Amino acid sequence: MDHEELLAYVASLYYEEDLTQAEIARRIGTSRSTVSRMLREARDAGIVEIIIHHPWRTVPELERELVRRFHLHQARVLQAQGRPYSEVLKGLGVLAARHIDNILADGMTFGISWGTAVFSTVQALRPKRRLSIRVVQMIGAVGTSDPLIDGPDLARLLASVYGGEYRYLHAPLIVESPQVREALLQEPHIRETLDIARKADLALVGIGSPRPEVSSLLRAGYLDREALARLREQGVVGDICARHYDIRGRILDIPLNRRIVGIEPEDIHTIGQVIGVAGGAAKAEAILGALRGGCVDVLITDDTAAERVLALDETEG
């Protein structure tokens, strides 16, 4: 066998068959230190992937209150326990992935948006079965420097996890003018893709915010800090599928919303179940607006965000 096959063989003996390094050394006629080096090399080469499944605990009382107050189908609230946001994001992805895997079935159409929370969810999926699903991009491509958080790559990754097919929306997310947007929407492939998205059985969406520290559109280079400040002045607290809304969940009649290529705000309500993933105190206003607007049916968040959302709901009226 060649060197990579040997590395895989040694890794299989160690991780799958539970042989000691000394036992493996005797089997392949080498030293224990060489086996140890080969195991490290197998990890470095990506032949072995070690996944730590953290015990992501939830807060049932917050889940029940969110469901009751906002008439959700379900809520999952991660117990953040002071973890850094990067770790919280992983936990949210795991909770969302478990929910998706429990309800996804053969023949379903799955709509997907974009962003770090959506990527964390797709990355956390570990299905033990293949499903004949169709994944469809619901909004145009952002063209971010990190393609893995963009719609096209996320659609492809999600489909490949289950062995399904995917459908791209061949258009940018934000175009120069409403006229350009209208012209693109007349293109047959774009129109057909959006028709499929409107009839999706499930959808996975992130919840965006105009706050600079958590703005995906800022990180992607679509908006600068001045543009975000103007959005906040116009009453924007958040966005789903790049459609910006106020604290009451009302989609605002602002120039940016008229330049978005993707499903319309009302289309979100025609989808069977919309799963929204977002966490952190900085996203609280955005989450509250999404809940009040009925944009999500299932919310995956953390306890810091949930407590802030509930408090804001009492004070913002």
CB within 8 A of 205, min separation 6: which ones? 113, 118, 138, 240, 241, 274, 275, 276, 277, 295, 296
Q: Is the pLDDT of residue 51 over 80?
A: no
CB atoms under 10 Å from CB of 182, counted, come to 12
Calculate the average pLDDT of the chain: 92
Question: Which numeric CATH code is attached to 60-316?
Answer: 3.40.50.1360
- Listed in order, strand segments (DSSP E) in the chain are 74-78, 109-112, 134-137, 165-167, 202-206, 238-240, 243-245, 273-277, 298-302
pLDDT in tens, 80-136: 978 888 889 999 999 999 999 999 999 999 999 998 899 999 999 999 899 999 999
DSSP 16: I
CB within 8 A of 294, min separation 6: which ones? 249, 269
Q: Which fold has domain 3-44?
A: Arc Repressor Mutant, subunit A (1.10.10)
Domain boundaries, the chain: 3-44, 60-316
More confident residue, 182 or 54: 182
What pLDDT was estimated at residue 222? 81
pLDDT band at 147 (very low <50, low <70, confident <90, very high): low
pLDDT band at 52 (very low <50, low <70, confident <90, very high): low
| Tokens of residue 90, six digits | 């992983």
pLDDT in tens, 262-309: 999 899 999 999 999 999 999 999 999 999 999 999 999 999 999 999
Residue type, 240: I
pLDDT in tens, 159-184: 999 999 999 999 999 999 999 999 99
Task: Read off the pTM.
Answer: 0.82
- Listed in order, strand segments (DSSP E) in 105-185 are 109-112, 134-137, 165-167
Q: Is the pLDDT of residue 145 over 70?
A: no
| CA pair distance 193, 178, nearest whole angstrom | 19
